[in-house]
Amino acid sequence: MKVVYTCFCTDVIHEGHLNIINEAQKLGEVTVGVLADAASIRYNRFPAVSLEERIRLVEAIPGVAHVIVQNEIMYDEIFERLHPDYIVHGDNWSLPSMQAIYQNIKNLIKKYGGELVEIPYTYSENVQRTDHQMIEKLAMPEFRRGRLRKLLQMVPIVKTIEVHSGLTGLIAEKTVVVDGETIDQFDAMWISSLCDSTEKGKPDIELVDMTSRFQTIEDVMEVTTKPVIFDGDTGGLTEHFVYTVRSLERMGVSAVIIEDKTGLKKNSLFGTEVEQTQAGIEDFSAKIAAGKKAQLSDDFMIIARIESLILEQGMEDALKRARAFVEAGADGIMIHSRRKEPDEILEFCDKFRAENKETPLVVVPSSFNVVTEEELAAHGVNICIYANQLLRAAFPAMENAAKSILKHHRAKEIDSELMPIKQIITLIDEINY
Ligand code: SPV
Ligand code: MG
């Protein structure tokens, strides 16, 4: 019997998959690989059902002899293990990620032998509808909210990018980078107070009210599926914070991060150049505890952000606060710094991890941007937030376009640096009905 292999990365079996198995069966004994969670997240999308359920779905297809787990997107381990005579795959190779997979299979066939059999992809109305339903499920508040906790179990570090609008949400949702045989994308989105305020031409001093901040969340959520972490500033009055927690939960936000400051909050990257007051440990612990008590869902997270290093209060103060805030019920700790080097952040992480192995750690490497995700993960960091880069990328590009038009009294000179009109009018998917 010939060894025939195909890999599925899906939550639902539709006629396209059945067609692949049908064709594969004609070639020999069929083994199906089910792509593991961590690999699915990087390549395609977050799985809406567990690996065990996905295995059971595939096992139930007539004509499937064996089901195994494919741990990596690339096929190296599969060739080493099975030496397949045939790799059966849909012929939808147009995306850069698919091109990388195609090249990988071709290279492995050169090394191990075997043959790639391409099956015309089934583009039926039913298949497209099933695909859209799978994506829509991920966007539902109940499902989206719990995704951050699941991600924390699945990936070494949750890569989070700042978004402040529907458009930036789409960038976070859809940007995939293929680097050789590595495929990568962001896991989650950060609704930054700095960027949300700046986008509205306002200072980052809790001036933009919650109703307006919630509208930004809605704008983002309407066009995305990835989990949202909300920058809750100081959380405001405890009496107000408990309402914020409920609203965020209801919207499907996964976590709020509140910082231990009181009075007029200014952006942390000003550090001690401006007057800022750190909240007392007891008061801030009470705010966390009140939020946790008000929370109704199990999966929402309240993360406490410690400003001791920003306000030059020292490492011991930061650690003391971390202990107290975890004790008060915080589901995670964010530690911040505005130093160019990551030393004090890494020192905090090492010291915190020495006494606490479980509580997720969050870091925002805006100033200490030399540090890599891998280094952070090695020091026990679980969530890395790129807190303002999309907004900072957009502003100089827009200002440059404005200046060029003023200088040349026409728009021709800047046009080559702009997105083509055809591309912008077709950028947004329309709903077909
Ligand atoms: C934000 O993005 O609004 C933050 C992070 O709070 S920082 O600007 O570094 O304070
Ligand atoms: Mg902020």
Catalytic residue among 187, 196, 204, 231: 204
Residue-wise pLDDT for 60-81, tens only, equals 999 999 999 999 999 999 999 9
Looking at the fold, whether 287 and 378 belong to one and the same domain comes out as yes
Of the residues 118, 134, 150, which one is the last residue of a structural domain? 134
With 90 as the cut, is the pLDDT of residue 217 above it?
yes
In a domain, 430, yes or no: no
Token output for 6: 């195909």
Tell whether the torsion through CA atoms of 195, 201, 207 and 213 is positive or negative.
negative
What is the tally of structural domains in the chain? 3
List all residues whose CB is within 6 A of at least one atom of ligand 1. 192-194, 204, 231, 267-269, 364, 366, 387-388
Taking residues 75-95, report their average pLDDT.
Answer: 96
343 classed as catalytic: no
- Which residues make up the environment of ion ligand 2, defined by Cβ < 5 Å? 193-194, 231
In a domain, 431, yes or no: no
Nearest CA to ligand 1 atom 2: 192
Taking residues 398-420, report their average pLDDT.
Answer: 97
Looking at the fold, whether 162 and 209 belong to one and the same domain comes out as yes
335 near 345, Cβ under 8 Å?
A: yes
Looking at the fold, whether 171 and 76 belong to one and the same domain comes out as no
In a domain, 77, yes or no: yes
256 near 302, Cβ under 8 Å?
A: yes
pLDDT at 180: 92
pLDDT at 426: 86
Per DSSP, the residues of 319-357 read HHHHHHHHHTT-SEEEE----SSSHHHHHHHHHHHHH-S
Looking at the fold, whether 130 and 250 belong to one and the same domain comes out as no
By residue range, what is the domain housing residue 356? Answer: 140-387
With 90 as the cut, is the pLDDT of residue 428 above it?
no
Token output for 25: 């069966």
Token output for 414: 């800047």
229 near 265, Cβ under 8 Å?
A: no
pLDDT at 330: 98
In a domain, 74, yes or no: yes
Distance 269 CA to ligand 1 centre (A): 7
Residue-wise pLDDT for 234-258, tens only, equals 999 999 999 999 999 999 999 999 9
> From the CA of 336, which ligand is nearest?
1
Looking at the fold, whether 205 and 291 belong to one and the same domain comes out as yes
Distance 289 CA to ligand 2 centre (A): 21
Residue-wise pLDDT for 260-287, tens only, equals 999 888 888 888 888 889 999 999 999 9
Looking at the fold, whether 93 and 216 belong to one and the same domain comes out as no
With 80 as the cut, is the pLDDT of residue 431 above it?
no
Distance 216 CA to ligand 2 centre (A): 14
Taking residues 165-192, report their average pLDDT.
Answer: 96
Looking at the fold, whether 240 and 283 belong to one and the same domain comes out as yes
Q: 0.85 cut: is pTM over it? A: yes
Minimum-distance ligand 1 atom for the alpha carbon of 204? 3
Nearest CA to ligand 1 atom 10: 268
In a domain, 176, yes or no: yes
Looking at the fold, whether 113 and 150 belong to one and the same domain comes out as no
Residue-wise pLDDT for 325-384, tens only, equals 999 999 999 999 999 999 999 999 999 999 999 999 999 999 999 999 999 999 999 999
Looking at the fold, whether 257 and 335 belong to one and the same domain comes out as yes
Looking at the fold, whether 179 and 299 belong to one and the same domain comes out as yes
Taking residues 392-410, report their average pLDDT.
Answer: 98
Looking at the fold, whether 162 and 279 belong to one and the same domain comes out as yes
296 near 305, Cβ under 8 Å?
A: no
